[in-house]
Amino acid sequence: MNELANFFVGEPLRAYAVAGIFCMMFGFSFLVSHRFRAGLHLPPAVACVAWFLFGLNEFFAKENGWNIRIDLLILWPGIMTLSATCTIIWLVGLARIARNRLKY
């Protein structure tokens, strides 16, 4: 997991790319459901905002030359847990929509 964290540390564009992926998941949810469903749309939106804020944090760290990153002890496990949880909730929501469409 440390190697995955190193992939994002000091590279805000990579965090923004992950935020973009969650943004596309949010858009895909609207294409599939045709209306707002909190359980389906909020998880990717929350993850998108979290990754965007993580990217901002990395941008400021890079610009200011912060080399001792105590903040990552909290931010990295938090954002990974949030991302995994939001992805699972989103997938369950998509499965419910698919199951409901097969019923009719």
pLDDT tens, residue by residue, 66-79 = 888 888 889 999 99
As a whole number, the mean pLDDT across the chain is: 90
Model pLDDT, residue 10: 84
Instruction: Annotate 38-97 with DSSP letters as a single string.
Output: HHHHHHHHHHHHHHHHHHHHHHHHHHHT----TTHHHHHHHHHHHHHHHHHHHHHHHHHH
Identify the domain containing residue 42 by its residue range: 2-103
CA pair distance 39, 104, nearest whole angstrom: 21
41: which 2 tokens? 């749309």
Range with the poorest average pLDDT among 15-19, 27-31, 65-69: 65-69
Number of domains in the chain: 1
Segment 42-60, tens digit of pLDDT = 999 999 999 999 999 999 9
